[in-house]
Amino acid sequence: MSAGLRAYAAVDLGASSGRVMVGRVSTDSLELSEAHRFVNRPVRVPEGLRWDVLALYAGVLEGLRAAGQVDSVGLDSWAVDYGLLDAGGALLGNPVHYRDARTEGVAEKVWATLPAAELYARTGLQYAPFNTLYQLVAARSSAQFAHAERLLLVPDLLSYWLTGEQGTELTNASTTQLIDPRTRDWSYEVAERVGIDLGLFAPLRQPGDPAGLLRPGVLEETGLTGPVPVTAVGSHDTASAVAAVPALGERFAYICTGTWSLAGLELAAPVLTEESRAANFTNELGLDGTVRYLRNIMGLWLLQECVRAWGDPDLGGLLREAATVPALRSVVDAGDAVFLAPGRMPERIAEACRESGQPVPRTPGEITRCILDSLALAHRRAVADAQRLADHPVDTVYVVGGGTRNALLCQLTADACGLPVVAGPTEAAALGNVLVQARAHGLVGDLADIRRLLTRTQPLTRYAPRGDTARWEAAEARLARR
């Protein structure tokens, strides 16, 4: 390996699993290995759906123990969810899961005070019922909220437990619907209009900022020798994943695949038009002054829930069976909120096909093909809409994250978009996490330098589009007639 090699631990928490990865980086090399992987299993209690944040923290500590001596630690996770702390810094209950039902009907109450169009013009954030703003409005009357002195988003909460220092990382803060993407600071007027005290939040941090040192108790539990710094990274996992898109130039779209598909563009400025709001695109903040202009799509959640309902059959066999099913026989809207909640996913997909007058998929292979065709169709719509709304043409689609392992989905996305797809890296969020830490230590340069290093060192697979896009246009028209 090259001289000057340094090791960085990336704590990467997804909605269904967590992992601690170790990146070994020099100025011209990059290797990533898995130290520890653990399940992220939410728990339904009488009050609703909650994250088991103590189990996640235990997984982080075990992962750091397995990682061995590192030069820095960075944390990223899913967005919008948070923990509340009392005046002494103690957690006031497990964080509420974004799929919990407490925000039903809350958005309409907010819009009565601050109309949806004005809220979008000020924050650029898509409508999603679980946005942090709506969660906070829903929580205001709770006993926990009444005793809260501090709010920390999930990766900031775990960072606080590791270091004893509090902060709010900007890329994740931009998903709260309380940040102005033009100023890259809090939208004080929005917060005042909806009655949210921004004093609950710790000071903003930028990716690359120091976030403290591992506490003595953490060093003892993990066996690490201090001092070990924690470095703020793009703590929204999508921000880290987009930083690891191995694109050269600007004419690219990305799809970050996993439980969700996040499909869009990297821009220099937000798109805050009414047309953009109507298309439900979001403007989240990325590295180096960039904006992640994207649409949320249900993603592989649809398949994960079906697999769970079927008793966890072999996924490889399921995908091989799906490949034999006729293409675009039945499709559903993969962005429809009807699929947000867990449970009965195969039945709900079948019902959606029946209601739209399409053939009803019945076997696991048929339902899987319906899901993959529907995701590719949603990717197509998002990429096309983003180009039009931002006036930003692209010539390549980059697929990163867990969906890169699904060759059928990658090929269908190329076919649907009519553009070449470059798939990889799979562990994009962890790599983006690692490389922001490495940059803070002077090993790599700007975002373009990060991407050149990824292109040189990571395995990538290319998929050329097959045939024309007419059949995809017909499927899209079929959905539009619903």
Active site members: 237
CB atoms within 10 A of CB 344: 13
**Which residues 6+ apart lie within 8 Å of 59 measured at CB?**
18, 20, 36, 38
The answer to whether 267 touches 293, Cβ cutoff 8 Å, is yes
Distance CA 437, CA 376 (A): 33
Judge if the upstream peptide bond of residue 425 is cis by omega within 30 degrees of 0.
yes
Judge if the upstream peptide bond of residue 203 is cis by omega within 30 degrees of 0.
no
SS3 293: strand
Q: Which residues pair with 262 in a beta bridge?
A: 256, 296
> What 8-state DSSP symbol labels residue 236?
B
3-state secondary structure 367-407: HHHHHHHHHHHHHHHHHHHHHHHHCCCCCEEEEEEHHHHCH
SS3 181: coil
